[in-house]
Amino acid sequence: MTADSCNLVVLISGNGSNLQALIDQSGVHGYRVAGVVCNNPSAFGLQRAARAGIPTAIVEHGNFPDRETFDGALLEAIDGFAPELIALAGFMRILGEAFVREHAERILNIHPSLLPKHRGMHTHQRVLAAGDKEHGVSIHFVNEELDGGPVIARSRIRVREDDTEASLARRVHRLEHALYPRVAGWFATGRLQLGDGGVYLDGRKLPSAGIETPAPTGA
């Protein structure tokens, strides 16, 4: 695969800060953001895509009678951009099993916790309520289980005594924006694969918790 030859399609629902990070780093890591698909027509991320000259498609889930029909329309929109890699970036819909099977082994998701801890929503609140000493971000391949696919990479921070949900969110966002483009680049350049036995980077099987990457300065 030559530089910038991997077509990346990003799925969003809202602000799109991770979309912006992927756009900003696209010339560095061997992928190009070929399209953005969104289920929310008022999402600010659509403006980010427009500013970057990236085509978009809107598939509103409320316009469909069931998940199967929505997934079919979503697949059609995504496939219109000829994806080689799909990245979920704040996409607030659970993908159906048929969708996941269609693009098995090339869907990434980013989750604001140190998986397998705190799957699902409101992770910053739950970290504080649990008294956790560490928090962070995980990137994983998507499977049929919510936030349960094989972990590729994690990055962590220490929880400070004065942290709030808002301050944790800001600090974890810094981790996300540094790590997601990097992992997408691993896939785009052929270094990262999901095999029968697990996740492989440069031909070596990763531990079940993925590879640990240092937090960026200031996180």
Average of per-residue pLDDT across 53-62: 97
Other CB atoms within 10 Å distance of the CB of residue 21 = 22
Beta strand 151-158 with 192-195 is unpaired
Query: Is residue 1's pLDDT more than 60?
Result: no
Q: What is the mean pLDDT of the chain?
A: 95
Domain architecture of the chain: domains with CATH? 6-212 (3.40.50.170)
Give 105-130 pLDDT, tens digit per residue: 999 999 999 999 999 999 999 999 99
Considering the candidates 29, 103, 111, 118, report the single residue annotated as catalytic. 111
| Residue-wise pLDDT tens digits, 163-205 | 999 999 999 999 999 999 999 999 999 999 999 889 999 999 9
Does residue 124 have an active-site annotation? no
- pLDDT over 60 (residue 59): yes
